Amino acid sequence: MNIVIVGLSAGGLSCLKTLLKYSKDINITAITNEDRIYSRCLLTYLLGRELGEKDINIADINDFRQINLITGKNVTEIKREKKTIVLEDGKEISYDKLILAVGADPLRPTYTKEENNVFTLRYLREAVKIEKRLKNSVVVVGGGYVGIKSAYGFYKRKVYTTMVVTSPYPLSVTADEETGRVVEKELIKMKIDLKLKSDVIDISKKEGLAKVTLRDETEIHCDAVIVGKGVKPNIKLAKNAGLDCENGILVNEYLQTSDKDIFAIGDCAESFDIIRKERYINAIWPVAEEQGYFCALNILGRDVSYPGSISMNSLKMENFHLITAGLLKGDGIKTHTLWHKNKNQFRKIALKDDLLVGVAFLNNPEDAGVYVNLIKKGDTRISNPEEFLTTTPVSYYKI
Ligand SMILES: Cc1cc2nc3c(=O)[nH]c(=O)nc-3n(C[C@H](O)[C@H](O)[C@H](O)COP(=O)(O)OP(=O)(O)OC[C@H]3O[C@@H](n4cnc5c(N)ncnc54)[C@H](O)[C@@H]3O)c2cc1C
């Protein structure tokens, strides 16, 4: 059997390793347009100079001599009728099963121009350029996880940081206000100049620096600007090949696309979300990894259905540690928080009617795993939230 994997990051690598572990009898070609296999999650540590380029490697290209590994090349087309993929140099490679693990690209508002020192942060090549440009000051646009983690990296490096956030509090897309406000407090404590309810309207270049103009006409001059305004799944290859796509490439419970011989996993794939009970993209590393694993088993004929995903995130900055999972806001969702103010800790649950749909832990990560599993079960009902928050959650497992 000829297997072709396009993209070799969280999803593609996990799929490749699983295939290699469970079958010796397959020909695998893996193609990536990058030349290294590294953790994107660690890019902000590179910006903060806490880690070097080599520290973020998660696999060595030389580890995969038993497969046909192609690096630094784009796949430009899928020819479904011939069951081949086409590389940018015109070379065609045939497949029996094809896995698309092509991830997502950052959203780039029109002012995102590298010639004006404005960058996005998704790829190592971008982190290296940002790292080189930075001396004294930076502007981070966006108050999501990538923006906040970048700001923390700059704080570690003692680079003066301004954060421009459209919404009234950080993490507003995923977190409830109370959780967002604790993050806000922490950023202020780190002396980050946080500009909430603010927007960038233009960025130009003046005397070698980026000149950022905000909606209220404030001007900020800085070495570089990092734009963290979200991502868009890479669906072009799939769409051009006639595969069903919406926001991402649509997949069934076996992670198959609308063509049974083509699979999609990770940030490019729209698969089942356990809480939303519909297709959604939870664009996080562990979801891409577990989908890579399930996809490989299905290709090897094990017929295992992927149970679905939930979102999960962890934010660690000095002594501040926030873990969130599932949904914390949305229609009909109500949160309940147990605070230990003297320890600056809380434990929070989010319920939709009485169904557990989300959790957040501030500075007490110990129980997070148990709660996450209760959310993933998809049927944990809590009639007395106050009691639940003070008892051991293990008792909620149905035996
Ligand atoms: C700065 C940053 C911090 C993050 N921190 C966290 C975190 O703390 N926790 C967490 O869970 N998640 C985090 N994430 C998100 C996480 O990195 C992604 O969810 C994860 O990388 C998705 O993996 P993937 O394999 O689906 O896609 P990607 O990692 O996007 O990899 C896709 C690969 O395919 C390649 N490719 C695309 N198109 C083609 C083509 N046509 N031909 C050949 N190759 C192609 C791409 O270049 C890339 O190498 C972070 C992301 C960023 C950017």
* Percent of the chain scoring above 90 in pLDDT: 93
pLDDT of residue 366: 85
The structure tokens listed for 294 are 């399930």
Asked if residue 240 has pLDDT above 60, the reply is yes
Query: Who's near 193: CB < 8 A, 6+ residues apart?
Result: 160, 161, 162, 163
Of ligand 1's listed atoms, the one at least distance from the Cα of 123 is 53
Q: Give pLDDT tens digits for 378-387.
A: 999 999 999 9
Please check whether residue 185 lies inside any domain of the structure: yes
| 241 and 186 housed in the same domain | no
Please check whether residue 271 lies inside any domain of the structure: yes
Which of 265, 285, 312 best tests ligand 1's pocket when mutated (most atoms within 8 Å of CB)? Answer: 285
- 303-339 b/e (C-beta count within 10 Å ≥ 16 → b): eeebebbbbbbebebeebbbbbbbbbbeeebebebee
Ligand 1 centroid–CA 335 distance in Å is 31
Q: Give the Cα-Cα-Cα angle 314, 320, 322 (nearest 5 degrees).
A: 30
Residue nearest to atom 28 of ligand 1 (CA): 103
Q: Would the CB of 71 count as within 6 Å of ligand 1?
A: no
Total structural domains in the chain?
A: 3
Task: With cut-offs at 50, 70 and 90, classify the pLDDT of residue 390.
Answer: confident
Ligand 1 centroid–CA 104 distance in Å is 6
**pTM of the full structure:** 0.96
Please report, for the domain that includes residue 236, its CATH number: 3.50.50.60
Please report, for the domain that includes residue 357, its CATH number: 3.30.390.30
Asked if residue 397 has pLDDT above 80, the reply is no
| 125 and 84 housed in the same domain | no
Q: Would the CB of 104 count as within 6 Å of ligand 1?
A: yes
The structure tokens listed for 127 are 């982190």
Please check whether residue 63 lies inside any domain of the structure: no
